[in-house]
Amino acid sequence: MTGMNNQKFAVAVISAVLLSGCYSIQVARSPAFSRCRIAAEEDCVPTAHMLVQNDGWFLFDRLPIVCGNANTESWFPWTFFKDEVSMEYVQKAIVRRAKMRGERIVQMNAINHNATLMSLPSTQGLSVPYLICHHATQISVVFEKTIDSIPELRDAAKVPEKPAEKPAETTEEVAQ
């Protein structure tokens, strides 16, 4: 009987850990991407594409139970009873990176997703709306740098100077 209780407790702990929120950052970059241009951004080159996401579990759709810890300096991956699944928290990592590397942020898009129909094992497949809800926020961006800030590109973009042509006489000058 004690063994059975221990098993249930282990399953409950493992489920709680696996079900909990998660804050993740993914960055992708490639030389081919850096050779492209972003539309309407003539003087810049893209440096990286980034996707930041956070998710968490809420009771009655409002009360945060456990969320991913958006504070990257903390070693603990979760926060309890604190709502960190918001665009404000997710955006922090993006702004921090941009400031640190002197990059500009373009093509910023956000997606918020809420799952409110959670079917639990004890409800035998029947979904109970707004009992336990899952919220997720994702923001994707493209980072870019100005050509002037990259020495190799700045030198390559330099056009050899032409001798200055004498400007044509204006009608006013002719009149004088």
Partner 1 sequence: MKKLALILATAAFAGCMTSEISRTPNGMEGDGGETHLLMVDIENVGWYLFDFIPILCGDPHHVNEVSSVFFRDTLTLQNNLDELMRIAQREGTYTIGSMMSHEVSESVWVIILSRHAYHTSATLMRKQ
Burial of 95-119, coded b for 16+ CB within 10 Å and e otherwise, reads eebbeeeebbbeeeeeeeeeeeeee
Count interface residues toward partner 1 (CB under 8 A): 31
Q: How far apart are CA 94 and CA 51, in angstroms?
A: 9
> Shortest distance, CB of residue 81 to partner 1, whole angstroms?
21
* Given 12, 27, 59, 63, the residue binding partner 1 (CB under 8 A): 27
Closer by beta carbon to partner 1, 89 or else 134: 134
Residue 82: exposed, middle, or buried by beta-carbon count in 10 A (0-12, 13-18, 19+)? middle
> Shortest distance, CB of residue 21 to partner 1, whole angstroms?
12
Q: Does 109 bind partner 1 (CB under 8 A)?
A: yes
Each residue 79-98 as x (binds partner 1 by CB under 8 A) or -, in order, gives --------------------
* Given 23, 44, 53, 70, the residue binding partner 1 (CB under 8 A): 53
Q: Does 107 bind partner 1 (CB under 8 A)?
A: yes
Q: Which of 46, 56, 35 has the alpha carbon at shortest distance from 101?
A: 46
For 4, list phi and psi in degrees, rounded to 5.
-65, -45
Q: Does 138 bind partner 1 (CB under 8 A)?
A: yes
> Shortest distance, CB of residue 1 to partner 1, whole angstroms?
26
Q: Does 56 bind partner 1 (CB under 8 A)?
A: no
Please compute Rg for the chain using Cα positions.
Answer: 27
Give, in degrees to the nearest 5, the angle at Cα 52 between 82 and 59. 30
